[in-house]
Structure 1
Amino acid sequence: EGDFARYLEVELIDHVVGHAYSPKGGGKVESAIGTLKRELWEVFEFHDRDDAARRLEVFFAEYNEQRAHMGIDGLTPADRFFGRADQVLATIDAVSRKRQGAHALLAPAGVAIEELGATGTGTPMEVLRLVLVDGVMELRFCGARIELGAVDK
């Protein structure tokens, strides 16, 4: 056994090796490596190994605990790992409905604001819509409305 195997044993890490040229499971690893390259290694200049380790720690803390991931319904990996998914999605839904209600109160007369469907009820939830209202293009995202500008005819 070499140093690497001893280190894994001390850290209680199971070392699983995939078959060469087998895509099963490799895609997630490749994606993670690509994300690290694009967002960390190609962006920052590291002064030494300790600097790189600190930045890597900050990156993973933000990536796992603060950054929403669309592949897991806008949750963070920590939300999923620690079993907070239902609670977080319910909170997001409540905030979105509150924002939707505020926009409806402030909307000019005659402008329709669509109600978002509740998550987990089996009803579809509209997240993004591009609409044209009286010649003005609007982007509607989770109940928020953003005017993009007039459309030339």
Structure 2
Amino acid sequence: MADDLAEWLDQKGMQHVRGAPYHPQTQGKIERWHQTLKNRILLDNYYLPGDLERQVGAFVEHYNHVRYHESIDNLTPADVYFGRAEAILAERNRIKRDTIANRRLQHQLQVA
């Protein structure tokens, strides 16, 4: 199993980096993710293992594809991963410029 991971990482040109557990400087993001997952999962009772597995899957789907992350310019991780970030940010800037121009025009019409 470890050899499979090492081979896959080599194919992707990546390194496996390990950090000290419970050490915020190295584990902060994943520790926070686990805390968020745990807080969400503990809200309900699960009577069958499949129920818990489905809830974890739903959380991961929501976290990666729906929930906006402030640290990545209010995009979803999927947007960044699949290369949609620049197009989304450009569209947001276009909408912002158009909105500001429209508000200026409305203000000028009211003043005149």
TM-score (norm 1): 0.53
How high is the sequence identity, in percent, across the aligned residues? 33
Q: Which has the higher helix share?
A: 2
CA distance in 1, matches of 2:81, 2:47: 33
SS in 2 for 1:109: helix
CA distance in 1, matches of 2:22, 2:53: 30
SS in 1 for 2:110: coil
CA distance in 2, matches of 1:17, 1:104: 53
Paired positions, count? 101
Aligned pairs for 1:105-120 within 5 A: 109=110
1:31 maps to amino acid: R
Q: Which has the higher strand share?
A: 1
Segments of 5+ residues of structure 1 without an aligned counterpart are 1-5, 111-153
Aligned pairs for 1:1-153 within 5 A: 6=1, 12-13=4-5, 17-19=18-20, 22-38=23-39, 40-104=40-104, 109=110
CA distance in 2, matches of 1:21, 1:64: 24
CA distance in 2, matches of 1:88, 1:54: 30
CA distance in 2, matches of 1:106, 1:47: 58
Segments of 5+ residues of structure 2 without an aligned counterpart are 7-15
Relative to structure 1, the CA distance from residue 24 to residue 46 in structure 2 (aligned partners, 3 Å threshold; closer, same or farther) is same
Q: CA deviation at 1:27?
A: 0.8
Relative to structure 1, the CA distance from residue 102 to residue 67 in structure 2 (aligned partners, 3 Å threshold; closer, same or farther) is farther
Q: CA RMSD in A?
A: 2.8
Q: CA deviation at 1:26?
A: 0.9
